[in-house]
Amino acid sequence: MSIIDTHYSKGNIVSLYLLSFLAIILWGLSYIWSNRLLHLRIPVEYFVFVRVFVAGLLLYCLNKIMGKNIRIKKKDLPMFLLLAMFEPLIYFICETYGIRLTESPTYSALIIASTPIVSVAAGMFIFKEKFSIINMLGIVICLSGLVMVTLCAESIGNLFLWGVLLLLIAVFSEVGHASCTKALTSSDYEPQVIVMYQFLIGSVYLFPLFMIKGMKNFDFGYYMSWQVWSPIICLAILCSGIAFSLWVNTIKHLGVAKSSIFLSLIPLVTAIADGLLGGQVLRPMQWLGICIASFGVIMTQTELPRPRFIPKRSRI
């Protein structure tokens, strides 16, 4: 039994949270590596397909070596096809183009971190779930923090708003991905198997874009250089294979709503990593905005304790 499919009890719930944080750290770094490839002028259609295919292939080899049951039940095939459509097809393309157009991995990560808000909104308007006043206030506070960070920006790309739109589409696709993942984990598929099929099917979706646009100006010496492949390998192994397997396990044990709270930490990881690597340095007001936005997301996931009912004693 692997570390990511262990049954979690109250005694080792800390391990679940630590592994969830590890996934968030890896995803925070993914914005740095994706941005590096964009600066190297590597087509999105090239490195996204290679990232997804390599991750799926490695997970297939791992599952075969470990003797995992990788058979798909016929009734679950449409759900796997929908899962791969949400992510990687829609999510990775919109996310990566969003990073390119906003010209900022930190801002991009911050927008993606608003996913829990969409999860709350979906629960309210689609699934008719009830939320408290503190949850509503959390949405307002989070949006205020996002505005602070954006308005304090010294410079943004000319197509910044288009980048934001693409990133918002990625947010909605992430909610769809989480919902499909939860349904599949209920059918007793192991995390590594779900992610393996997610990426293998996703690579089929992405293959036409790879051939038409990704290989358009292919230069073997440059595209296959270590300068290009080092961030691709990091994205494929760390941010796709490992992080997604950990995240499936998080959704399985915590659920869609509770697991989404961790996404609010992604921009903090990206901002810190970007600063340490000599990239964009945020001003104090922007750091404050990120903290406020993260706090707001936490409030959207907070449940108020229910008042205890104490029966009245009858008077005799």
- pLDDT of amino acid 61: 94
Question: pLDDT of 238-275, one tens digit each?
Answer: 999 999 888 888 887 777 766 777 777 777 787 778 77
Question: In the block, which residue shows the tokens 């992604």?
Answer: 266
- pLDDT of amino acid 280: 65
Residue 245: alpha-carbon gap to chain centroid: 12
- pLDDT of amino acid 147: 72
- pLDDT of amino acid 2: 44
For the cut 60, the answer to whether the pLDDT of residue 10 exceeds it is no
Mean pLDDT across 80-99:
90
Q: How confident is the model at residue 157 (pLDDT cuts 50, 70, 90)?
A: low
| Whole-number percent of the chain with pLDDT over 90 | 30
Q: Is the C-alpha dihedral spanning 270, 276, 278, 280 positive or negative?
A: positive
| Contact partners, residue 198, CB within 8 Å, separation at least 6 | 56, 80, 83, 84, 87, 88, 244
- pLDDT of amino acid 279: 67
Mean pLDDT across 127-131:
64
For the cut 60, the answer to whether the pLDDT of residue 315 exceeds it is no
Question: pLDDT of 254-264, one tens digit each?
Answer: 777 667 777 77
- Structural contact between residues 273 and 29, judged by C-beta atoms closer than 8 angstroms: yes
- pLDDT of amino acid 200: 95
Q: How confident is the model at residue 1 (pLDDT cuts 50, 70, 90)?
A: very low
For the cut 60, the answer to whether the pLDDT of residue 121 exceeds it is yes
